[in-house]
Amino acid sequence: MSKVLLISTYDLGRQPFGLASAAAALHAAGASPVCVDLSRDQLSDATILDADVVAFFLPMHTATRLALPVIDRVRTLNPGATLCAYGLYAPLNAAILRERGVTAIIGGEFEDDLAAAGLKACATDDVDNAAGLTACATAGNGSDQTGVAPAFRPAVPRVQFRIPLRDSLPPPERYASLQWGDERRVVGYTEASRGCKHRCRHCPIVPVYDGRFRIVPADLVLADVRQQVAAGVRHLTFGDPDFFNGPRHAVDVVRRLAAEFHGLSYDVTIKVEHLIDHADLLPVLQATGCAFVTSAVESVDDEVLLKLEKGHTAAGFERAAELCRGAGLVMAPTFVPFTPWTTAEGFCTLLETIDRLRLVDHVAPIQLAIRLLIPEGSRLLELDEIRALVKPFDGRSLTHPWVHTDPAVDALQQSVSSLVGRRLNASRREMFEEIWSLAHAAVGRTPAPRLDPGILPRAAVPYLNEPWYC
């Protein structure tokens, strides 16, 4: 029986679904999986030496950067082990991973291919599933010599979904929690769908799923929730990139959730345009226990939104915020405020819009410091202006570095980022005040009076107490 070690380095402060789902597939295939979440536990030499296969879950940029030195350690200690990498960022960084001895690169729908790789513990053949970048094996990190992402339409296999196996993971109470006033709720995580119908240029899902998504059967979703509630979970995060990609399925899931688990709250992520197009479903979310809706607004500059192909406008964002408030839902907008097209004045406009819409308490401070990442395979590389701006792929940052044409904008981003990093325990309102003053000073004008005087107490807005990083 193959001994498979599954490793997660970071997954936004939540119990890693990618370990639990992979463990279920491997167990069903006859392998013996061991899960280690390095955000909560240490990895012993003995555990490494005992593994035939070591698989790294790479769902995000930070997780991938943190994994690189661990991969080096595993390879040094156990050179005979087969190394695998799976998740969205595995195919995007295939060449870097192969340089470190990883021989199995598996993309988004990973369970079945990972189980097959686990059973081929000592095989010498590389494994690349069809959900990855098919050009990775022969074209560096997935780009040709011009830096343009290769033309391909990767297949997205249909996997056999199983109830995630969570027994060997740290219990939910060791992870991030929901703060709702003075109440703390233990948080769980599941997925009702994967992938996304949309092809936003900056999104890391697009190079892997390319506009496709997969529905997870509602019975399996509920079974996973059931085991988490039994473990003490009182709030659930749905990790679907867009919960309303399949609105009928989504509504079925949350209605069944509310019927079975009285008092269980949840949060979802929904695109701005879907909040508008399915406004009739927002009261259903509110009635079934939705604590807040995350929406990737990214910018309030229509030119930037058009370049990112977000599918909404600044006016659409304001309409979505109005619809959520009217339905009694908390909207938690996220942003990428610093892009190659950002101006210092434009950043001030973003802050003023957040203030005017009375969303100050809804926005995590880190969201005001994020700088656009351009990973390999990004659709941003389709743009001539981006290709002219970016530098060659950097194996340390795992991005194409870029420098703003206006040094003052990069300086402003660094100042905001440093401020947020120093004040992790400050309230959102306090941080907004400081960023407001800093940004207006950067453009040389006295800030206008705030329109949101803080009528709503901070406690009125529920939030997860884990900083949001990508």
Q: Who has greater pLDDT, 238 or 446?
A: 238
In eight-state DSSP terms, residue 149 is: P
Q: Who has greater pLDDT, 155 or 220?
A: 220
Task: Assess whether pLDDT exceeds 90 at residue 157.
Answer: no
Question: Do 38 and 8 form a contact (C-beta atoms < 8 A)?
Answer: yes
Task: Assess whether pLDDT exceeds 90 at residue 129.
Answer: no
Domain architecture of the chain: domains with CATH = 3-128 (3.40.50.360), 172-464 (3.80.30.20)
Q: How confident is the model over 5-33, as pLDDT tens digits?
A: 999 999 999 999 999 999 999 999 999 89
Task: Assess whether pLDDT exceeds 60 at residue 220.
Answer: yes
CA distance 117 to 111: 10
As a whole number of angstroms, the longest Cα–Cα distance in the chain is: 69
CA distance 121 to 104: 11
Helix, strand, coil proportions of the chain in percent (round to 5)?
A: 40, 15, 45
For residue 108, the model assigns a pLDDT of: 85
For residue 454, the model assigns a pLDDT of: 59
Compute the average pLDDT of residues 291-299.
97
Question: Do 361 and 428 form a contact (C-beta atoms < 8 A)?
Answer: yes
For residue 331, the model assigns a pLDDT of: 97
Confidence of residue 446 (pLDDT cuts 50, 70, 90): confident
Task: Assess whether pLDDT exceeds 70 at residue 143.
Answer: no
CA distance 404 to 411: 10
How many other C-beta atoms lie within 10 A of the C-beta of residue 408? Answer: 12
CA distance 174 to 40: 8
Confidence of residue 146 (pLDDT cuts 50, 70, 90): very low
How many other C-beta atoms lie within 10 A of the C-beta of residue 353? Answer: 18
Helices (H), 29-131: 45-49, 61-77, 89-92, 94-99, 111-119
In 3D, which of 12, 9, 63 has the Cα closest to residue 469? 12
For residue 119, the model assigns a pLDDT of: 74
Task: Assess whether pLDDT exceeds 80 at residue 122.
Answer: no
Confidence of residue 106 (pLDDT cuts 50, 70, 90): very high
In 3D, which of 178, 197, 291, 299 has the Cα closest to residue 243? 197
DSSP of 245-268: SSHHHHHHHHHHHHHHSTT-EEEE
In 3D, which of 110, 116, 114, 151 has the Cα closest to residue 131? 110
Helices 407-422, 344-356: inter-axial angle, 10-degree rounding: 50
Over pLDDT 90: what percentage of the chain? Answer: 82
Using a cut of 0.85, tell me whether the model's pTM lies above it. Answer: yes
Tokens standing for 27? 């167990």
